[in-house]
Amino acid sequence: MIEGSVSRKVKRNQGFFIDANARFSPCVPSNGKRLEYSWSSDPPLNLPSSRVSKLFIPPYLLQILIQYKFILKVSVIDINNNGKEISSSTVEAFVEVESSDLIAIISGGSSRSISSFLPLVLDASHSYDPDDPQTNLNYQWTCCKKINDFCDFDQCLSLFTDLKDTKSSIYSKIPNETSLPDGTFIFSCNVSSQDGRTSKANTEIEIKPTPIPIVSIKNTESEIHNFDKPLILTANVKSEYSDLIYQWSLVEGNIDLNDKNVAPFGTNQSQLYIESKKLNETKYTFKFTARSQTTNAVGSAQIIKKINLPPKGGKLFSNVLEAISLQDTIKLTTSGWMDVSDDLPLRYSFYQVVELENGETIDQPLHPFPQSKAEFSFIAPTVDKDTNMTFKVVAFDNKNAGAFATTTVKILTFQKQQNETNEIFAEKLINENLQQLINEGNFEKIIQYIDNVAQVIRLSSGIDSNSVKKRTLLKDKLIELFLIYFYQM
């Protein structure tokens, strides 16, 4: 069964998952059988990993204006008959690929100031088509002059008469006999492709009738910045003055740049570094200023950064408060996550929080890939004494911003027969419980359970030759099983 819609449209620069779920019919015995997954496509593709239940399609693998059919074949395999296929069934999903949106960029920042005695240069040459960065784009320039709350197109175009006829990615205006007109102007560049896609970029230029430092801010690699990554902004300054003072400030948004926990390297350099997880609003406008100490001439530039905030409000629940190690099944369920519609759908990764000897913790994944299902079931992990164990879920949006929630379950020590050694107990786990998972064909749970059995063997303390030999045989068996099923995930 395909989870979610069996038909979808995607942009070519978007990677995505196709999730499927299969299980044995309750009417058919599963002993000695396992499930095997195999994906194919029409038209044929070199799929990165085709023997999994969750198929990932990376960006740019698919071509535009083609409808792709992805076929999942699930086979029932007879383990006791050299892996012979007993039966199979197939499901299909359809994907149509659309062209990616064009990216329009005017270098220098969202706003900046220049002197009327120096050239005005507007550079949109970094605009591009994500599907083909080498493609030729069309450029159309226009502008308006800000007058109080009004922006006058006619007045601006009468001052920059050659702007509307400029078809290149770069527009320049050099003051010759007369200086550039002073005032505040908004310049716009409309970028288009041969197939009709368009994108628009704006920049605000304040032209001052005095010599000032020329300031610009380097465009960051991505228009939208992820909340959980540091933000680095870099300003460029050209000036005849040698006594400049630099200063970063905030025009829009709520954050204290003077806080060393926010901006540890200060705000008086050409580069501003903001620590990760400090930008908690969806939009910020930063301003960089270069000022001469002797003449007080000031040049400045601004840049707008949109912040992709992670999902919020989610909680993690367990179906049990206590579970017996290696015996009971724990089902984790997460709900309540909220995010803007453009950031959906969400995906989830579940973890066991492991405490190290030095008191630090690490997140140990319970499954290899993020999944669309908001729940995950697994057999209670190995403990040799009753332990309060923390589990975590991280909810990711489609731009990979993530937030987490936790819950705690008391894990009771695994139960074995009186005088039963860990080696014998581990062997029983392999022959009984692990075999049942193999019959079900759930590769993720098989790998996880192999690790649980390995933990039992690590807890073994017998030093006699029989115990050492049995541990060696069991380790070899686990390694063999791991290699078989890991590459089928």
Question: Using one digit for the tens of pLDDT, what is the confidence trace for 339-385?
Answer: 887 788 889 999 999 888 888 999 988 887 888 888 988 888 888 78
**How far, CA to CA in Å, does 115 sit from each of 174, 313, 381?**
11, 49, 68
Q: Which residues, other chains included, contact 56 with Cβ-Cβ below 8 Å and sequence gap of 6+?
A: 15, 16, 17, 48, 49, 369
Average pLDDT taken over every residue of the chain: 86
> Residue 434 has what DSSP assignment?
I
> Residue 341 has what DSSP assignment?
G
- When pLDDT is cut at 50, 70 and 90, the band that residue 219 belongs to is confident
What CATH number was assigned to the domain covering residues 111-308?
A: 2.60.40.10
Q: Which residue has the higher pLDDT, 381 or 272?
A: 272
Coil, strand, or helix at residue 267? coil
Asked if the domains 111-308 and 315-486 are classified in one and the same CATH topology, the answer is yes
What CATH number was assigned to the domain covering residues 2-98?
A: 2.60.40.10
User: Are the C-beta atoms of residues 143 and 189 closer than 8 Å to each other?
Assistant: no
pLDDT, tens only, 415-456 = 777 776 766 676 776 666 666 656 655 556 666 666 776 666
Distance CA 430, CA 5 (A): 38
Name the percent of the chain lying above pLDDT 70. Answer: 84
Label residues 253-289 b or e (16+ Cβ within 10 Å = b).
Answer: bebebeeeeebeeebeebebbbeeebbeeeebbbbbb
Name the percent of the chain lying above pLDDT 90. Answer: 51
Q: Order the strands of the 315-318 sheet from edge to edge.
A: 315-318, 329-335, 375-379
Interhelix angle for 443-458 vs 465-486, to 10°?
160
The helix or strand, by DSSP H or E, that contains position 435, with its residue range, turns out to be helix 435-440
Residue 338: exposure state from Cβ atoms within 10 A (0-12, 13-18, ≥19):
exposed
Distance CA 64, CA 136 (A): 18
Distance CA 5, CA 284 (A): 36
pLDDT, tens only, 17-59 = 888 877 777 666 777 777 888 899 999 998 877 777 778 888 8
Q: Where are the domains of the chain?
A: 2-98, 111-308, 315-486
What CATH number was assigned to the domain covering residues 315-486?
A: 2.60.40.10
pLDDT at 487 over 50: no
Q: Which residue has the higher pLDDT, 413 or 177?
A: 413
Distance CA 457, CA 475 (A): 8
